[in-house]
A and B are shown apart, each in its own frame.
Chain A
Amino acid sequence: MGGLQKKKYERGSATNYITRNKARKKLQLSLADFRRLCILKGIYPHEPKHKKKVNKGSTAPRTFYLLKDIRFLLHEPIVRKFREYKVFVRKLRKAYGKAEWTGVERLRDNKPGYKLDHIIKERYPTFIDALRDIDDALSMCFLFSTFARTGKCHVQTITLCRRLTVEWMNYVVTSRSLRKVFLSIKGIYYQAEVLGQLITWLVPYQFAHDHPTDVDYRVMATFTEMYTTLFGFINFRLYQTLNLVYPPKLDSKAESELKAEHEEDYAMDSESYLEKLSALSASLARVVATAEEEENQLDLFPTEGEDQENMQAREKEQKEQEAQNRLFEGLKFFLNREVPRESLAFILRCFGAEVSWDKSLCIGGTYEVADETITHQIVDRPDMDKQYINRYYIQPQWVFDSVNAKMRLPVEDYFLGTTLPPHLSPFVEEKDGDYVPPEKLKLMALQRGEKPVQEDDEEDDEEEEEEEEDDDVDDEELTEEKNLKKMEDTRAHGKTLAVKVTPGKVKPWETGSVGNKVRLEQEEKAEEKRLAIMMMKKKEKYLYDKIMFGKKRTTREVNKLTAKRKAHEDAGKAQKKQKKAKKQ
C-alpha cells in the first residue's frame, strides 16, 4: 500500500504535553529548582483530555506540563542564576573545606542573587492584573509577618513582610477602601475595594504559631519571595495614585505629635519608625500637600431609559459608599488592653474614627483613658471597675457588625457583659431559596429603616410562613406527583366509585369552581411536563436530573437549618418559661 507507517504518539496531543521529569531534564534543573521556577513563573501542570494518549498508552499517574510552558521556561534568565547559585554553593563548600577564610568572604560578597521584577512584569502586564491576584500575597505576607524570628525563615523576609503589610494597611486607611470585615474562627477577614477590585485577605489572630512539621517552608518561602516583590511594586503604585510618599512617611504634624518622651524605651531607632507607622494612628505625608479630600464629582450626562436607571443605581451606590466611609467619623474610641489593637485601630481608622490606646500597649496612642471626649470605649471583659458616664462601653463585635451593616448599629446589644448577637458573615449573598438566618432578616429590616420588631410571636409567625414556603419549594415536584397520582387514582376509580354512593363531600373540582379550573390546568401542565421529561435525550436527562438533585439538596439543607433553628428557639423558650415558673 506504500507510504511510511505512521508512528504512534508523534502527533496530536501526545506532543503537546511533557511529563514533569522530562521537563526537569530538559531544563537541567534539580526538582527543587524546578519547583521554585514553576512557582516564580506561575507554571502549573495541565490535565490532558486524553490521558492515555498523552501518556503513550500507559495509565500510570503522571504530572503533565504543557510543552509550550516548558519551552517558555527555557528562556528564563533566572534559570542561569539558579545554576550560578549552585556553583557558588559548591565553591563555598570547597573554600570552607580548605579553610580559606578570605576566599569564603570573597565568595560571600559575590553571592549571586536574582531579581523578580521582570517576572512580575511578565506575569502581570497591567497593574490591574496584579491587583486582581493580590489576595494570596496579602494573606501570605500577613501570616509571615506574624512569625517569630526564630529560624523558620529569614528575618529579613519577616521584617519585609511586616513593612509591606503596614504599608498596605496605611494605604487602605488613607484611601478608605475597606468594605467588609469578618471575625472567623480562623482569623479576621478583611475585604477592601481598591481601584474597583475586591480584595480579600485573612489575618491570623495574634498568637504564637506552633509550626507544623508536615509543612514545607521552602515552598512557602519561595511563594513569599515572589509575593513580597509583587506586593512592594503594588504598594508603590498605590501610594503614587494617592500622591503619598513612598516609602511612607508620617505627616510632619503627626510626627511631632507622636514624639513621645520615652520613645527610645519602646523600640530601637531603626524599628521605632515602622512601629509608629504600624500604630496607624497618624496620617501619612503626601508628595504635594493638598486639601484633605477633593470630591471628584461624577459628570452628569443626559441619559435615557435603562441607562438612566443604571446611572441612578450607581449614584445611589456611591452615596451609600460615602456614607459608609464616614461611618465612625467624629467618634472617639479608646481601646482597652485586651482587645486586638491592630485590627480594631485599622478598621476604626478606615472609617474615620479617632483611636487611642493605653501608652503601655503600643506606641502612638494620642489621648488617655481619662479624656472626657471619648465616645466609645471598646472592652472585652465581663466588667469594668471604673466607668465614665459619658461614653459607651461596648464589645469589639459592635465595630465589625456596624461596618458590615454599613450603619451604626444600636449599641445596646453589645454592652459590657451582655450576650452578643450572632456574628454573621458579610460575604454570604443569599439567593432565592437559600437559607437566611433570622438575624440577617432583622438586620435587613434595620437597614431599610424599619423599627426592629420586638414581639417574639410575630417573628415566629414569619418564620413559620417562611418554612411553609420552603416546604412548598422543596416538595414541589413531589407534591405534584402525589396530586397527580391521587387524581388519576380517583379518575381511574371514578366509575367504580360512582356506583358506590358516598354521602357528602362533593369533589371540589367537579363543582366547577374557578379555583378548580386553575388547579386542573396546573395538573395538566404538570403532566405535560412529565411526559416531556420522558422524551428527553439521555444526556439531557442526566443533566436535568443532576440539576434537580442539586436543587433538592439545597432545599434539604435549608430545611435542616430552619428545623435546627426552630428546635433551638423552642428550647430557649422552654427554658424561659421554666425560669418564669420558678420565679412565680
Chain B
Amino acid sequence: MPTVTLESQKNGTMNKAKVKSAKKRVAEEDNDQLPIFDKDVTEKAGEEGDEDLSDSEESVFSGLEDSGSDIDEEEEDDGDDEEEDEDDAALILDENLKNSSGAETSAEPKQQGKKTASKETRKMKKGKGGAIDGRGEKGLTTTFQGLATAQQGDEYEHDTSDEEDIRNTVGNVPMEWYQDYPHIGYNLDGKKIFKPIRSKDELDEFLDKMENPDYWRTVHDKTTASDIRLTDEQVDLVHRLQKGQFGDVNFNEYESSVDFFTNEVMIHPVTNRPQDKRSFIPSLIEKEKVSKLVHAIKMGWIKPRKPKERTPQYYDLWAKEDPNAILGRHKMHVPAPKKRLPGHEESYNPPPEYLLTEEERLAWEQQDAEDRKLPFLPQKHSCLRAVPAFSRFIHERFERCLDLYLCPRQRKMRVNVNPEDLIPKLPKPKDLQPFPTTMSLVYRGHTSLVRSISASPTGQWLVSGSDDFTVRFWEVNTGRCMKTLEVGGAVKSVAWNPNPAVCLVAVCFESTVLLLNPSLGDRLVVSSTDQLITSYEPPEEDKEQAVTWALSEGPEHNKGHRLTLTHPKAVKQVVWHGKGDYLSSVMPDNTSNLQVLIHQVSKRRTQNPFRKNKGLVQCVSFHPLRPYFFVATQRYVRIYNLIKQELTKKLMTNCKWISSMAIHPGGDNLICGSYDCRLAWFDLDLSTKPYKMLRHHKKALRGVAYHRNYPLFASGADDGSVIVCHGMVYNDLLQNPLIVPVKVLKGHQITQDLGVLDVTFHPTQPWVFSSGADTTIRLFT
C-alpha cells in the first residue's frame, strides 16, 4: 500500500496537497465499506429521478460527455448520491475545481450516524426547494451547515453567518491541523467525525474525472471531508452569479417605479405648516440697503453706467503752448532724424543710366543686405499700371520703427571743412631761396650702387664709394671723374677730411679703413698732408691697440694710399672730427663693447671710448664745435661728453630703426632719418623728444645731411627722391623754428627697391649731391 501512495504521489499531476494523500490513505483502509454505502445510495436514486435527469442534461450541457463516455450507472449513482448529501456545498465552482475534484468521485465513506443526519438534512432541504435565493453573494462564503439549520418563516432564518456549523464543531480552523489524524473534528455529541476511508488515489481521481458525468458539479468539503454534488438550482445560481445577474430567478429588476409625489396636484398639501410671519413683513435690512443706494444716487455718488466712448476725443492740445517751456526731459534729447528722400533710382520709370547692368545686379544680389548701397533693385516699368506692390514695404516701416526706439542717437559732428583750410599756411618756397631746384649734373661711372659720397672742404671735388670696389674722385663743376681707385672690397663709407689744410680721404671697406691722399687740388696742401703723415714718430712705449696702423708704401703709395687701419671687424662708417685730426669708425656688433673706435691720425692712436654695449650702433658723429660725440643706436641717440667722459643726453627718436643722422653746423639741431620713413628734427636745447617729425618720404630714409652755411637740410629715401627742407632756427627764443619742405628733387631711378643712398651738401653752394642705387651721383643746383 505504501508503494501505491508513493506512486500516486509520483504520478500526481493534479493538485495534490498533503491533506489529500492522507485522506487517500484513510479511504483505502475503509475501502470495503463502499458497496454497502452504494446500495444505500441506489435506493435514494429512485427518489431523485428528476434530479438525475437534470444532471444528465447538465452533463451534456457542460461538455463533459465525451470525456466520461464510458460511465457505468453505478458509479454515476454513487456520485449522485454523495453529492446529493452535501448539496449545499461551497459554491465556488470553477472548471479547474471540477477537474481537480473529478478524481474524488468514489463514494465517500461515512459513519452511520453521520449518514442519517445527512439524510435528514437532505429532506429538509427538499422542502426548502429553491429557498436559497437572495443570498447569492453570501452563498459564496457561507458554509453549508448554515443551510441545514435554517428554518423557513423567519426573516433572518437563512442568515446563518453567526451560527456555528453543528456537524463539525471544530470551528473555523485550518483543516490541515487534522491532517495526521483519522478524524477531522467532532460532532455535536462530542464524537469524533472520522475521515472517509478512501481508496482514491490519483488514478481513481482521474478515472472519476473521466467517467463521472457529474464530476464538474462535485465539490469537496473540507470540514466534513466529503464530496458534494451541486444540484441544478445551485449550478444555475452559480451561473447567474457568474454572469452578474441576480441570484433570484423571480426577482424583477425592472419593476415599474411608483412616484411618491405624483405629478397630479392633490387637494391636500404635503405639509400643512403655516407660513412664517417674516415672509409677510418687508425686510428692514434690505430697506436700509435700498435707502442707502437711493441716497447715494440722489447725491450723485452713484452714477448709472454710461456707455464708454471708444473713439478718441481731440481738442486743441496746444491751446496754451509755451515755446519756452522746458522739455520734460533733459537737454540731451536728439530728435529723430528724418528718412532720406528718394533719388532718381527709386523712380518707377528711372532714366536708363540708373538701372543696374547685369554684372551690377549680380554683385548686388551677392552682397549682404547691409553692404548694399541701394536697399532695392532699380526697376523700370513702362506704365504706372504695371507697377507691383513693393514687397518689403511693411519691413521697411518696421525697421524705421525699430530705428526710432532701439537705435542710440548721437549728434555726429559732421566735419564741414573746406579741405583747402586744412592745408597749413607755409611761407612760399620762393621766399626761402636759395635751395637746389633742378638737377644739373649726373656723375656716371660707377657700375654698382654708390653707397657713400663726400665733398671736399673746398667744394671742388667729390669722392664716392661704391659696391663695385672702387672709389672715384670727381670734379664737381664738370662731372669729370678725376681718379678711380680700386680697393679690396665694397666701399661702405667715404669721408673727406673737413680740414681744408689737409687733403685726406677716409675710405672704409670690409674691416679696413684707408686714409687716402687723392693728390687733388693745391699741391702745397697735398705735400703738407704727406709730410704730416710721414712726420709721425712712434712713441717710446708701444701701446697695445685694437687697430693696427700701417703706412702704405710702394705702388700703393703711388695710388694714394697713406695709412691703413685694420680693424678686427667689418667697418660700416667713418666720420671725421671737424678739426680733421680725429676719426671715428663704426663696427656694428651687438655682442661686444667694441663698436666705436676713435682714432687720432697725427699720433696714430686708437681708443675705444665705451666700456659697455648699449645696443647696435648705427652711426656716430662729432659735434662740430664742442667735444661732444653722438652715437645713434637703433632707437636712441646718445650724446657723450668726451672730456668729462659721461653721457649728457639721450634722445628718444620715436623711430623704429635709425638709419642716418646729421648735426647742424651750429651744433644746436640734429636730424635723424629712419627706416620707417620718418625724419626726426631735434632741438638739442629743448627736449629729448623730437621737435618735429616729418613723414614726407614714402619709403625708408637712407641719408640725411645739413648744409654748412644755409639753413637747409636734405633727406634721401628709397622712393628715389631727395627732399630739401628749409630749417630755420631763430635766435629769438620765442619764435618757433621754421621747418618747411621747399623742394622734392627726383631723378634717381629705383633699382632693387633702393633709391637714394646718400646725400650731401656742397660746402659753400646751395647744391646737393645724391648718390643712388642706379649707379649715378646727381647734383641738384
A195-225 at interface with B (beta carbon < 8 Å): 200, 204-205, 207-212, 214-216, 219-220, 223
| Contact indicator A491/B394 (Cβ below 8 Å) | no
* Of B352-360, B491-499, B548-556, the one touching chain A: B352-360
Residues of chain A lying within 8 A (CB to CB) of residue B415:
543, 547
A140 near B: Cβ within 8 Å? yes
A438 to B426, CA, bound (A): 43
Does A266 have its Cβ within 8 Å of any Cβ on chain B?
no
Q: Known contacts A122-B328, A395-B383, A531-B429; decide if A491 and B343 are in contact (CB<8 Å).
A: no
Per-position binary interface string of chain B over residues 370-395, scored 1 when its CB falls under 8 Å from any chain A CB and 0 otherwise? 00000010110111110111110111
**Stretch of B30-38, B166-174, B293-301, B401-409 that contacts chain A:** B401-409
Segment at the B interface, from A65-73, A78-86, A316-324, A444-452: A65-73
Interface centre among B328, B336, B740, B747 (most CB of A within 10 A): B328
A63→B400 CA distance, assembly (Å) = 18
B347 is an interface residue with CB less than 8 A from chain A: yes
The list of the 5 closest CB pairs from A to B, nearest first, reads A427-B341, A207-B389, A47-B408, A534-B696, A565-B353
Q: Which residue of A lies closest to B428 (CB)?
A: A528
Q: Nearest-CB distance from B558 to chain A (Å)?
A: 35
B323 part of interface (Cβ distance < 8 Å): yes
Find the A residue at minimum CB distance from B347: A423
> Is B423 part of the contact surface with A, judged by Cβ < 8 Å?
yes
- Docked-complex contact A121 and B323, CB < 8 angstroms: no
Complex Cα distance A64/B332, Å?
15
For the complex, is B303 an interface residue (Cβ under 8 Å from A)?
no
Decide if B426 touches A427 in the complex (CB within 8 Å).
no
Q: Does A397 contact B (CB under 8 A)?
A: yes
Tell me if A120 is interfacial: C-beta within 8 Å of chain B: yes
Which listed residue (A47, A140, A207, A565) contacts B388, Cβ 8 A? A207
Contact yes or no, A233 B405, CB < 8 A: no
Bits for A548-561, please: 1 = Cβ < 8 Å to B, else 0. 10010000000001
Q: Which residues of B contact A156 (CB under 8 A)?
A: 310-311
Distance from A514 Cβ to chain B, minimum over Cβ atoms (Å): 20
- Contacting residues, chain B, for A72 (C-beta < 8 A): 328-330
Say which one of B106-114, B438-446, B653-661, B761-769 lies at the interface with A: B438-446
Q: List, sorted by A's number, 23 A–B pairs whose CB atoms are closer than 8 Å.
A: A39-B405, A44-B409, A45-B408, A46-B332, A46-B410, A63-B406, A63-B408, A72-B330, A185-B381, A185-B390, A205-B388, A209-B394, A237-B317, A397-B384, A419-B382, A423-B347, A425-B343, A437-B354, A438-B351, A495-B439, A529-B423, A531-B740, A544-B423
In chain A between 100 and 121, which residues have their CB closer than 8 angstroms to a CB of chain B? 109, 115, 117, 120-121
Tell me the bound Cα distance from A491 to B743 in angstroms.
14
Interface presence of B327 (CB below 8 A): yes
Say yes or no: A215-B398 contact (C-beta < 8 A), given A44-B408, A47-B410, A236-B314.
yes
Shortest A547–chain B CB gap in Å is: 5
Contact across chains for B746 and A488 when beta carbons are under 8 A apart: yes
B504 an interface residue at 8 Å Cβ cutoff? no
CA of A439 to CA of B354, assembled, Å: 13
Chain B proximity of A242: nearest CB distance (Å): 14
- Please state if A212 and B395 are interface contacts (CB–CB under 8 Å): yes
Tell me how far the C-beta of A328 lies from the nearest C-beta in chain B, rounded to whole angstroms: 18
Interface size on A, residues (CB 8 A): 118
Q: Is residue B315 within 8 Å, beta carbon to beta carbon, of the partner chain?
A: yes
Q: Which residues of A contact B405 (CB under 8 A)?
A: 35, 38-39, 43-44, 219
- Measured between beta carbons, the chain B residues less than 8 angstroms from A200 are 338-339, 341
Looking at the assembled complex, report how far the CB atom of B721 sits from the nearest CB atom of chain A, in whole angstroms. 10
Q: In the complex the two chains form, is A491's CB within 8 Å of B409's CB? A: no
**B419-A544 in contact (CB<8A):** yes
The segment out of A131-139, A169-177, A249-257 that lies at the interface is: A131-139
How far apart sit A530 and B695, CA to CA, in the bound complex (Å)? 13
Tell me, yes or no, whether B346 is within 8 Å of chain A by CB.
Answer: yes
If A44-B409, A68-B330, A232-B314 touch, whether A186 touches B396 (CB-CB below 8 Å) is: yes
Assuming the contacts A186-B376, A219-B398, asked whether A531 and B336 have C-beta atoms less than 8 A apart, the reply is no
CA distance A135 to B341 in the complex (A): 12
CB-based nearest A residue for B425? A532
Is A574's CB within 8 Å of the partner chain B?
no
Among A240, A439, A491, A535, which residue has its beta carbon within 8 angstroms of that of B424? A535
> How far does the alpha carbon of A208 sit from the alpha carbon of B639 in the complex, in Å?
84
Residues from chain A with a CB closer than 8 A to the CB of B336 are: 133, 136
Across the interface, which residues of B come within 8 angstroms of A121, CB to CB?
317-318
Tell me whether A531 and B352 are in contact (CB under 8 A).
no
Interface centre among B338, B423, B439, B743 (most CB of A within 10 A): B423
User: Which residue of chain B lies nearest to A129 when distances are taken between CB atoms in the complex?
Assistant: B335
* Cβ of A411 under 8 Å from chain B: no
Query: Chain A contacts of B351 at CB under 8 A?
Result: 422, 424, 437-439, 565
CB distance from A361 to the nearest CB of B (A): 15
Q: Does B268 contact A (CB under 8 A)?
A: no
Asked if A531 and B426 sit within 8 Å, CB to CB, the answer is yes
Query: What 0/1 pattern do residues 42 to 58 of A give for CB contact below 8 A with B?
Result: 01111100000000000
- Cβ contact of A540, chosen from B341, B397, B422, cutoff 8 A: B422
Q: How far is the CA of A73 from the CA of B426 in the complex (A)?
A: 56
Least Cβ–Cβ distance between A311 and chain B, in angstroms: 26
Q: What's the minimum C-beta distance from A73 to chain B, rounded to whole angstroms?
A: 10
Residues of B within 8 A of A219 (CB): 398, 401-402, 405
CB distance from A331 to the nearest CB of B (A): 20
Say whether B407 contacts A69, CB under 8 Å. Answer: no
Interface flag for B264 (CB, 8 Å): no
* Residues of chain A lying within 8 A (CB to CB) of residue B428: 528
Given A532-B426, A547-B417, the answer on whether A133 and B335 have CB atoms closer than 8 Å is yes
Q: Which residue of B lies closest to A123 (CB)?
A: B328
B343 in contact with A45 (CB, 8 Å): no
Query: Are B384 and A237 in contact, CB atoms less than 8 angstroms apart?
Result: no
A530 neighbours in B (Cβ, 8 Å)? 744
Complex formed: what's the CA distance from A24 to B642 in Å? 73
B330 & A237 in contact (Cβ 8 Å cutoff): no
B423 x A66 contact (CB < 8 A): no
Residue from the list B385, B387, B400, B744 in contact with A136, Cβ < 8 A: B400
Known contacts A39-B404, A424-B347; 9 further A-B pairs (Cβ under 8 A): A136-B336, A160-B312, A182-B346, A419-B382, A494-B438, A527-B744, A531-B743, A531-B744, A551-B419
Residues of A with C-beta under 8 A to B417: 543, 547
Contacts of A44 in B (CB 8 A): 404-409
The answer for the CA separation of A160 and B312 in the assembled complex, in Å, is: 9
Write out the residue numbers on chain B whose beta carbons fall within 8 Å of the beta carbon of A187.
Answer: 390, 393
In the complex the two chains form, is A204's CB within 8 Å of B347's CB?
A: no
Q: How many Å lie between the Cα of A547 and that of B379 in the bound state?
A: 32
B773 on the A face (CB < 8 A): no
When the two chains form their complex, are residues B424 and A205 in contact, meaning their CB atoms are under 8 A apart?
A: no
Contact B318 A126 (CB under 8 A): yes
Residue B685 interfacial (CB < 8 Å): no
Q: For residues 315 through 351 of chain B, which have their beta carbon under 8 Å from a beta carbon of chain A?
A: 315-318, 321-323, 325, 327-330, 332, 335-336, 338-339, 341-344, 346-351
Determine the distance from Cα of A215 to Cα of B441 in the docked complex, in whole angstroms. Answer: 76
Alpha-carbon separation in the docked complex, A454 to B354 (Å):
23
Residue in B closest to A127 when the chains form the complex, CB atoms: B318
Chain A residues, Cβ within 8 Å of B357: 564
B89-142 with Cβ < 8 A to chain A: none
- In-complex Cβ contact of A425 among B327, B347, B385, B426 (8 A): B347
CB–CB B322/A205 < 8 A: no
Q: Are A532 and B424 in contact (CB under 8 A)?
A: yes
Is there contact, CB below 8 Å, between B389 and A209? Answer: yes
Which listed residue (A126, A489, A496) contacts B323, Cβ 8 A?
A: A126
A395 and B384 contact, CB distance less than 8 A: yes
A60: Cβ under 8 A from any B Cβ: no
Q: Tell me the minimal C-beta distance from A340 to chain B in angstroms.
A: 7
Name which residue of chain B comes closest to A124, CB basis. B318
What is the bound-complex CA distance between A34 and B747, given in angstroms? 70
Residue in chain A with minimal CB distance to B375: A186
Interface presence of A148 (CB below 8 A): no
Nearest Cβ in chain A — how far from B693, in angstroms? 9
Given contacts A419-B382, A437-B351, A564-B352, contact A184 B330 (CB under 8 A): no
